[in-house]
Amino acid sequence: MREIMYRDALREAIDEEMARNNQVFIIGEGIAERGGSYKVTEGLLAKYGAKRVRDTPIAEAGMIGVGVGAAIAGGRPIVEILYVDFAMLGMDMIVNQAAKFRLMTGGSGSVPFVMRTQGGTGGGVAAQHSQSLEAMFYSVPGLRVVMPSTPADAKGLLKYALRQDDPVMFLEHKHLYMTKGMVPDGEHIVEFGIGDIKREGKDVTIIAWSNMVHRALEAAAELAKQGIEAEVIDPRTLVPLDKQMILKSVAKTKRAVIVQEACRRGGVASDIASIIQAEAFYELDAPVEIVAGLDIPVPFNLVLEKASVPQKDDVIAAARRSLHLDAYALAAE
Amino acid sequence: MAKTPSGENAPPKALLEKLFRTAYSIRVFETEGIKLYRQGLIRGYFHPYLGQEGIATGACAALSKGDYIASTHRGHGHCIAWGADIKRMVAELLQKETGYCRGYGGSMHIADITTGNLGANGIVGAGTPLGVGAALAAQVRGSDAVTVTFTTDGATNNGTFMESLNLAAIWNLNFILIIENNQYAVSTPIGDSTRETDLYKRGTAIGVESHLVDGNDPLAVHDLMVEAVKKCRAGQGPILIEARTFRHMGHHVNDPGKYMPEDKLKYYKERDPVDRARNDFIAMGGATAAEIATIEKQVQDEFEEAVEFSKNSPEVSVEEFREFAAVY
């Protein structure tokens, strides 16, 4: 095991897979000579050459479409999109092309296309650079949605993404690139659809992904001081979703808190809550809690930015509510 | 477009025969397909390629095994010219398990990746980035395969047209983009959609070698494509070709196309691409009336057999569909 940064883990994954399979290549804005805005692709141009590491013009719809076409034709493209917000320019290619091709060909075609991008709030980059848009991709059958929270998961999941055959929305978080974590030596692969228990506990299940895993862990540490043992589950991939791990944990703790940075309305948390109520209703001792971003574009002002997305205290409060330790907020209304 | 009707400069007879057979096959497929549609045997959308046969016919005859094509919503002609199995095409339109896409795709989504057919597309303009992507994958692979995307005049006003052609240009990809300019985006005439109706000029604006060709002349399309393919394989791609043509009817089978001026329709029907291919085969290839009749009979029989095959093919299985759906 070594302690490395999230961005280094991503680079290792790309590097190892490019070395392993010469069909893997990467295109994106400023990813070649410059090494990418987050330094994920630093050094790859020198190692693999201009044929497999290419800068693109600012043309998201075109470059996503070109990636999808390359994948259909047997390539293994990675398209890096600077911000998930910019992926919206290429939604036809993601939603109508990549996601549909397998079905439209009756199963004979496949699209091993990986779009790497990043989302979330961080440092006042304002409404068009701060979104958490996983629910958009989550609601389109045919896409895989991956949201790693740690360097080890980032590496293992990206390596797996480059070996499977479906279009992958690989959603990193801008706040995580310089965070550190232990990564196993040698070959490290994390298959899709297998969640990870980031902290074990018996009193309440907290389900979170991407940067919110860390908020949940901070909350769990504080809850522990109050004598509450929270179990923190990171599904790691939203599609496919490790439903069994969630249901098993809820059966143990009888309580569920779902934390997402994305806005509350139409979110993945709502869908997970609906799965829990449908499949574990009689296990529950309290309503499923959702802690989510406000239904509002993220403002620039850093105080307001912070107020827009879940904080540690919001998670703690929700966990305590589910344990009936505080009065329900509803009672005050 | 100077042609020598006979002598040593004449095109090979085999080529002229191929062009006629292909163009006529598309004509029969679309004409008979419309009848099946009217009988209720074909459902969904059906965008006939009638009047535009010369383009797919000429272009695909210049390509080789290992190359790729990407097509449009009006895609039957490209499939046929690419050498698709008529049986599996008809079966797809009849929603059968034996169709190219097992009945999961339909008219607008026939694809066959095993032969390099990246597929028709229900989204106007989408085939352009996909085709550029196939050309990029080929370049990464070190292959000299050429990818041809057939697109439409309507698609030239979509952002991905320029975005992807530009990507092909900066990377010198083996990519040929053919704009089938039938002069209508559904019902809107091209002059209402753009100030510059010479669409090939858009390529020159970004440094892409661009040409205009008579899309109703299969041999002219073929000859231009032979040069374009040669240039691509020599690393001089991409190339843009505008092939001017006209539909023989509305946008799809249920569009009467009343907005198409009668005199213009008459003008283009008098320059019918299938007649052109037949006449070329006779005039330059020395085909006899008997040879023509034999080919026409073979093509018609092939279609009828395809209909029989499709009618007798198994229906799709809902159980298998549920299994298929489980991976999503």
Which of A52, A104, A138 to probe by mutation at the B interface, max B CB count within 10 Å? A104
Of the candidates A25, A57, A68, the beta carbon closest to that of B140 is on A25
Listing DSSP states for B73-103 in one string gives: SS-HHHHHHTT--HHHHHHHHTT-TTSTTTT
Of the candidates B113, B136, B138, the beta carbon closest to that of A66 is on B136
Residue B1 has pLDDT above 50, yes or no: no
Residue B231's contacts (CB-CB under 8 Å, 6 or more residues apart) are B209, B237, B239
Measure B322 CA to nearest chain A CA, in Å. 12
Q: CB contact, 8 Å: B120 with chain A?
A: no
Q: CB contact, 8 Å: A191 with chain B?
A: no
Of the candidates A56, A93, A109, the beta carbon closest to that of B167 is on A56
Residue A132's contacts (CB-CB under 8 Å, 6 or more residues apart) are A84, A119, A120, A210, A260, A261, A262, A263, A293
Task: Identify the bridge partners of residue A118 per DSSP, sorted by sequence position.
Answer: A172
Q: CB contact, 8 Å: A25 with chain B?
A: yes
* Spatial contact of A26 and A77, defined as CB atoms under 8 Å apart: yes
Which chain B residue shows the shortest CA-CA distance from A106?
B101
CA A224 to each of CA A113, A218, B130, B275: distance values in angstroms, whole numbers, following the listed order: 42, 10, 53, 84
Token pair for residue B223? 């000859």
pLDDT digits (tens, 9 = 90+) for A87-100: 999 999 999 999 99
Task: Identify the bridge partners of residue A257 per DSSP, sorted by sequence position.
Answer: A206, A289
| Exposure on the CB side of residue A93, measured as CA atoms within 13 A | 38
For A191-242, give the secondary structure using H, E and C.
Answer: CCCCCEEEECCCCEEEEECCCHHHHHHHHHHHHHHCCCCEEEEECCEEECCC
Which chain B residue shows the shortest CA-CA distance from A74?
B137
Q: CB contact, 8 Å: A96 with chain B?
A: yes
Q: Which residues of A98-128 are buried (b: 16+ CB within 10 A; e: fewer)?
A: bbbbbbbbbebbbbbbbbbbbbbbbebbeee
**Angle made by CA atoms B14, B282, B247, in degrees to the nearest 5:** 90
Number of A/B CB contacts below 8 angstroms equals 145
Token pair for residue A323? 């344990």
Q: Is A294 exposed, middle or buried (0-12, 13-18, 19+ CB in 10 A)?
A: middle
Question: If we measure between CA atoms, which residue out of A142, A140, A200, A210 comes closest to residue A175?
Answer: A210
Report the sign of the C-alpha dihedral through residues B247, B248, B253, B256, in that order. Answer: positive
Which of B115, B160, B172 to probe by mutation at the A interface, max A CB count within 10 Å? B160
| Strands annotated E in chain B | 68-70, 147-152, 175-181, 184-185, 188-189, 209-214, 239-244
Q: How much is the CA Rg of chain B, to the nearest whole Å?
A: 19
ipTM attached to this prediction: 0.95
Query: What is the pLDDT confidence band of residue B3, given thresholds at 50, 70 and 90?
Result: low
Q: Specify the pLDDT at position A11.
A: 98
Measure B141 CA to nearest chain A CA, in Å. 7
Q: Do B133 and A105 touch (CB under 8 A)?
A: no
Measure A286 CA to nearest chain B CA, in Å. 31
Separation of first and last alpha carbons in chain A: 51
Q: Do B129 and A68 touch (CB under 8 A)?
A: yes
Residue B315's contacts (CB-CB under 8 Å, 6 or more residues apart) are B95, B96, B97
Say how far apart CA A117 and CA A138 lie, in whole Å.
15
- Cis link prior to B5 (omega < 30° from 0)? no
Token pair for residue B27? 């004509």
Token pair for residue B176? 């040929």
Per-residue pLDDT of chain A (333 residues; tens, 9 = 90+): 999 999 999 999 999 999 999 999 999 999 999 999 999 999 999 999 999 999 999 999 999 999 999 999 999 999 999 999 999 999 999 999 999 999 999 999 999 999 999 999 999 999 999 999 999 999 999 999 999 999 999 999 999 999 999 999 999 999 999 999 999 999 999 999 999 999 999 999 999 999 999 999 999 999 999 999 999 999 999 999 999 999 999 999 999 999 999 999 999 999 999 999 999 999 999 999 999 999 999 999 999 999 999 999 999 999 999 999 976 555 554
Strand order in the sheet with A230-234: A196-199, A230-234, A204-208, A256-263, A289-293
Question: If we measure between CA atoms, which residue out of B149, B268, B133 comes closest to residue B214?
Answer: B268
Q: Do B109 and A107 touch (CB under 8 A)?
A: no
Q: What is the residue type of A174? A: K
Question: If we measure between CA atoms, which residue out of A244, A217, A241 comes closest to residue A231?
Answer: A217
Token pair for residue A107? 């199963």
Q: Specify the pLDDT at position A200.
A: 98
In chain A, what residues touch B141 (CB-CB under 8 Å)? Answer: 23, 74-75
In chain B, what residues touch A139 (CB-CB under 8 Å)? Answer: none
In chain A, what residues touch B321 (CB-CB under 8 Å)? Answer: none
pLDDT digits (tens, 9 = 90+) for A58-83: 999 999 999 999 999 999 999 999 99
Q: How much is the CA Rg of chain A, to the nearest whole Å?
A: 20
Listing DSSP states for A86-103 in one string gives: HHGGGHIIIIIIITTHHH
The distance between the two most distant Cα atoms of chain B, rounded to a whole number of Å, is 63
Is A324 considered catalytic here?
Answer: no
Measure B134 CA to nearest chain A CA, in Å. 4
Partner A, chain B 136-195, Cβ-Cβ below 8 Å: 136-141, 147, 159-160, 163-164, 166-167, 170-171
Which of A52, A105, A114, A137 to probe by mutation at the B interface, max B CB count within 10 Å? A105
Say how far apart CA B239 and CA B247 lie, in whole Å.
24
DSSP classification of residue B117: B
* Spatial contact of B25 and B80, defined as CB atoms under 8 Å apart: yes
Please state the pTM of the whole predicted model.
Answer: 0.96
Continuous segment of H or E residues that includes residue A6? helix A6-20
* Spatial contact of A82 and A31, defined as CB atoms under 8 Å apart: no
Q: How many residues does chain A have?
A: 333
pLDDT digits (tens, 9 = 90+) for B87-118: 999 999 999 999 999 999 999 999 999 999 99
pLDDT digits (tens, 9 = 90+) for A107-138: 999 999 999 999 999 999 999 999 999 999 99
Listing DSSP states for A102-161 in one string gives: HHHTTTS-----EEEEEES--SS--TTS----HHHHHTSTT-EEE---SHHHHHHHHHHH
